[in-house]
Structure 1
Amino acid sequence: MTSTLENTDCGYKMIIPVATEEESSINVRTIFSGPFVLPDGYTIVSAIYDISLPEQLSKPVTVKLEHCVDLNDEITASKMCFATAAIDLEKKVFVFDCVGGGSFPKGETYASLDINDSCLLCVLYRGSTRDTSMKYAGQCSYVRDYKNSWTMSILFTKHLSAHYKYTQSETVATIESHPFLFTRRKGDGELLMELDKFKNQMDLKGWKVAPLTPIPDVILKSQIDCVELQQEFGKLQCRIIPSIEFSVYVYDEDAATDEIDKYLDIGGTTSNIFIKRQRE
């Protein structure tokens, strides 16, 4: 007999052999970032999970973790692995290494692995800075400042339920998640999103969209990829997640349309984000 422990908001599922003599306690803690070290050439493509198993389980536990790889062929699957971490007491970091086994079904967003012991577990992907197989998301929110004025924030994360939940926990507003891929650049250019066209204020039929903080010319894919690798554990703030922020407001009551519906053409991506607000 087995039982299932599932938390899709945090991106994991577990199939557990049922203990016959006494109940077993299994604890799973989802971690966004920490003092982690990865094998060269690998990127974390899941959340990190601290899994505590009881000693009396007679059979392995099947763990299924959500990943953000667009898994459409065997070559891509061959670049993926599960990894567990051991602590380096001298350097005060957790060092991840790939482990054998694991199933990475084509077309699915969960990979599975049988484990027998407690561990710190994640999924890794071996790809270059020009690899377009990973999925990302623009986590968008609006906070009302006063009548007909809002602050719009877009945080760029990996396309994972656990990352959505983390960004949602950091704001009072409702997050809208917009998935996207990076697109290949000519030559050997590193994948990036082009933001230079949003650096200046935009006037739109009685509305204004103005940057609240300086907008960078570009955000590199690699900047999003390494957010989890924070050496000062417990000090992660949303501000270190690559982001942009705008003030969206009506400046001309007579000329303003009832709705603003402005497409943000973020170059270098398949992003489909619109600024949308209804006039009050």
Structure 2
Amino acid sequence: MIEILNPAELARAKDTGALVADILQTLKRRSTVGTNLLDIDRWTEAMIAEAGALSCYVDYEPSFGLGPFGHYICTGVNDAVLHGRPYDYTLVDGDLLTLDLAVSKNGVAADSAVSFIVGEARHPESVAMIGATERALAAGIAAAGPGARVGDVSHAIGTVLGEAGYEINTEFGGHGIGSTMHQDPHVSNTGRPGRGHRLRPGLLLALEPWVMADTAELVTDADGWTLRSATGCRTAHSEHTIAVTDDGAEILTLPKQPRT
């Protein structure tokens, strides 16, 4: 299903996107050395409830997962890049943490992810990976104007990731979003320009470039959810929900106000 939002729905999408962004920024500030992943999950649950919103994850039960996800946020540490299920782990200096959050409010969902390094230690490889996903995300957004095709967006993302030297996995990528979290069209992180669904104003897309340092192969944890690099290398993931507009694309998942 591909949804095109009307102006009233788009206004609600902007509110949901801002909420997702604000929660992620709060969690990023709180995620310091000594923070437990389960605390991050509890904080997320409380902020979603306070906002009168709904988690897109807690009851999420797709064919590729093992039962309901059962948590309110994805927390990927170091080699965990997607669908990281929170568990009893305490962050240490230098960990590369990815937080991925999807929330629904007033009938419209928004999805965003951010990767960052915890504490003071800085691994050059980690900094480079995070930067590559952020640049690829910006390139994808710039390509997502009205009349463009999904392949144009995928090609823009893949060009940046490929030029940075990363192999690209095409099993998981970006997606349409609206009244539900995952919709068509699928937006691969590499592709051929001029191919695929034509974008039009009112379409929401969640674009999410992600890479692994030295492989494109994923393995699944025993929890049935967490996807890790097959070699144990570090990973990074950046994501925004955008709305295609009459003259380009608008990022919906930008912070609106500071939180403590």
Q: Establish whether TM, by shorter chain, passes 0.5.
A: no
Q: Taking CA–CA contacts closer than 8 Å with sequence separation of 6 or more, which of the two structures ends up with the larger relative contact order?
A: 2
Q: Which has the larger share of strand?
A: 1
The normalised TM-score by structure 1 is 0.23
Indicate the structure (1 or 2) with the bigger Cα radius of gyration: 1
The normalised TM-score by structure 2 is 0.24
